[in-house]
Chains A and B, each alone.
Chain A
């Protein structure tokens, strides 16, 4: 073996070694997701094919042999959609104000608000829920009657929960584009607000959709807020001020006391539906985003 070959040989080895570990790591990550989906599908099969019991009905009465999770599916979607409808415009308004407020007198307010939004990401949901039980629920009871535990209350708190996520995604997406346009735009006599409104927002559909997808995903999966605030009645609510049970809260309630049996098995069907809904909505929203934006970023 000629001596001159020696220096290149080890470095080449190292490169391929690093490549091997990277490939292994990505393979494991993909396998993990695939295994998770496969596990839930396999575990859900008994619930779909057991005789006489189907998770696709509107009645949950485990002692009478009804294991329907459809009311919970509907409540989950309603809660997430309402939270998104409440939270998204709110997040967008905050970001627009934050990016375009030019008054020097208000710069302290901008800083304080940025800090507040970042702090909000660190508040545990149990704290949010507990505060809401004592502050929001009695207000809703006064305003709408009933018990105050309802979809609306849970949606309001979930919209607060997903607010910082959406604000941070929107801001990081919009700020760079606005800053890139600013020197020229301002020189042309446009204000920051006009630039954002006329030039940046129409080009930022993908950022808007990304923020909505992330917010929606969190709203769909959050457990503790609906568990403590929505009332958990296992039936289809006829209005937003009625008690309802989301899939995630349903799983938390049933797993606390059941091991095995039809009620337990139906949870895997519920889990599959939740996973399916989440993936489905993400895919649909991604399709809505124009592909050309991907190259531009």
Chain B
């Protein structure tokens, strides 16, 4: 009967191991056996989430080096497609031509809303969709026509191809494009600065960028907030994507999985977005 205690011992050890693993199950565990470099580039909206995850992973395992760069959605597609980075971020779904050309795989991981914003001094806090369309088409040019003070509207839009602009024009303007008289700025940050400095300004930013310096405007009484966007009540939203060339492997796969883990979700919420469940 010598085998009995040994069996018991093995069993106990196994049980202990399993329980220990489940108790300490950490999204960072898969990185323990990994090392090497991971380069990420593309959409600027993604950067806070990517940087947060990169920091946590590199602190847990110093043998891993992760770099995060911006550049915009187009840069994300090009760099990942040409193998210059392992993950290319986009604030829009990939075009058919891009998928065909590079063989990319997309991972939508967060929902971002786009909010119409005005200067905090502006008395207007709600606009109808029709009014917003007329403002951005250049038909309404004075705040007086909207019940505000008698002053010319300063119109600010994002550059062609920006994910934020695409979302705004697609969901708020019903695919109409904005007037070419509008000023064009090239980042959410620049948009915020412009609106915060110009009392007559109107423009749009990612909901996560709303703060005390600018005022979000309700569309048809629907307030721009992450909660409303998550519930589907606020209409102007988009998905944020990570893209890899082919199915991700090794460190890249571990990173993508980490973004979908609880810790990744916490980072997404902290950056002002809503986590999007992996399909």
On A, residues with C-beta under 8 Å from B are: 59-64, 133-134, 137-138, 141, 145-149, 227-228, 231-235, 243, 245, 252-261, 263
Contacts and interface: CB of A to CB of B under 8 A. Distances in A.
Contacts of A133: 193, 197
B74 interface: yes
Interface in B61-79: 71-75, 77-78
A256 B72 contact: yes
A134 B197 contact: yes
Nearest to B166: A257
Interface in B179-213: 180-186, 190, 193-194, 197-198, 200-201
Interface in B221-267: none
A252 B185 CA distance: 11
B186 A253 contact: yes
A257 B177 CA distance: 17
A61 B190 CA distance: 22
Given A254-B160, A256-B159, 16 more contacts: A61-B177, A61-B180, A134-B197, A137-B197, A146-B152, A147-B183, A147-B198, A149-B194, A231-B184, A232-B185, A254-B161, A255-B74, A257-B160, A259-B74, A259-B75, A259-B77
Contacts of B185: 232
A227 B185 CA distance: 8
A233 to B, nearest CB: 6
The interface centre, meaning the residue of B156, B163, B184, B200 with most chain A CB atoms within 10 A of its CB, is B184
A252 B97 contact: no
A261 B96 CA distance: 13
Interface residues of B, number: 34
30 contacts: A60-B180, A62-B161, A63-B160, A133-B193, A134-B197, A146-B152, A147-B183, A149-B183, A149-B194, A228-B190, A231-B183, A232-B183, A232-B185, A232-B186, A233-B183, A234-B180, A235-B181, A243-B183, A253-B160, A253-B186, A254-B161, A255-B74, A257-B72, A257-B74, A257-B75, A258-B161, A259-B74, A259-B77, A259-B78, A261-B97
A147 B119 CA distance: 13
B152 A235 contact: no
Contacts of A256: 71-72, 74-75, 159, 161-162, 186
Interface in B151-171: 152, 154, 156, 159-163
A235 B97 contact: no
B209 to A, nearest CB: 17
A235 B180 contact: yes
Contacts of A234: 180, 184
B32 to A, nearest CB: 37
A255 B73 CA distance: 10
Contacts of B193: 133
Chain B contact residues: helix, strand, loop or mixed: mixed
Interface of B: 71-75, 77-78, 81, 97-98, 101, 152, 154, 156, 159-163, 177, 180-186, 190, 193-194, 197-198, 200-201
Given A61-B180, A233-B181, A257-B159, A252 B186 contact: yes
Nearest to B156: A147
B184 A232 contact: yes
Contacts of B161: 62, 254, 256-258, 263
Given A257-B73, A257-B160, A233 B184 contact: yes
Contacts of B81: 259
A253 B197 contact: no
Contact of A233 (B101, B182, B190): B182
A47 to B, nearest CB: 16
A20 to B, nearest CB: 37
A246 B159 CA distance: 14
A61 B186 CA distance: 17
B83 to A, nearest CB: 14
Contacts of A235: 180-181
B44 to A, nearest CB: 9
A151 to B, nearest CB: 12
A69 B75 CA distance: 22
Contacts of B182: 233, 243
B186 to A, nearest CB: 6
Given A147-B201, A257-B159, A259-B77, A233 B72 contact: no
Nearest to B74: A257
A158 B213 CA distance: 29
